[in-house]
Chains A and B, each alone.
Chain A
Amino acid sequence: AQTVTQSQPEMSVQEAETVTLSCTYDTSESDYYLFWYKQPPSRQMILVIRQEAYKQQNATENRFSVNFQKAAKSFSLKISDSQLGDAAMYFCASASTSGTYKYIFGTGTRLKVLA
């Protein structure tokens, strides 16, 4: 079965500092994609960053980067120079590329940014 685990229900970071959110996953698929989504308070969930499993290079999007460890099935999100607007729920997700639809989300990590 495909699973996504986020073991940190809540994290805090000082403004301008760096924080890392953890995610582990399990899948029997050989080809898959991993995602981090952000859900700000009372606002829509949006995609932050995505990683293709067959690519060894870690994805980066401005202040957001991932540490993808395929053998360990780990996919952490690093936020550099944290800003107040980064405060949100962050969801890790995986999606397979096989014929059946499998898009699995974790339980989320609430990130607080302290001024």
Chain B
Amino acid sequence: ETGVTQTPRHLVMGMTNKKSLKCEQHLGHNAMYWYKQSAKKPLELMFVYSLEERVENNSVPSRFSPECPNSSHLFLHLHTLQPEDSALYLCASSQGLYASYNEQFFGPGTRLTVL
């Protein structure tokens, strides 16, 4: 496996379900990110992790809970979501956090549908 991988690629869940999204990067990067991509809206940064520590949480509802057990893995735990949470969830990684010239490497995304 190379680059950034995400599983599952598609997920349909009810509002009372609990599910998790997984992201793995094979690039030796130190920073990882979760983004939400909705139609006709800017990519929304949700969480930023640097060296396994959360450094950014952009007012994301508590029904989204991130976890970064090591620098290669990032999870997004989902609980009691709302239909408006349906979107494409993208994971990304970069070499460092504050070196802004760093390219972000994106995963293919998880298409989430909340019924």
Contact = CB atoms under 8 A, between A and B. Distances in A.
Interface of A: 4, 9, 32-33, 35, 37, 42-47, 50, 52, 91, 93, 95-97, 99, 101-108
B97 A101 contact: yes
Interface residues of B, number: 23
Interface string B92-103: 100001101101
Contacts of A105: 42-43
Contacts, number: 52
A9 B100 contact: no
Given A101-B98, A102-B100, A107-B40, 6 more contacts: A44-B3, A44-B109, A95-B100, A103-B45, A103-B100, A104-B42
A101 to B, nearest CB: 5
10 contacts: A4-B42, A32-B100, A37-B104, A44-B3, A44-B108, A52-B101, A97-B98, A103-B104, A106-B42, A107-B40
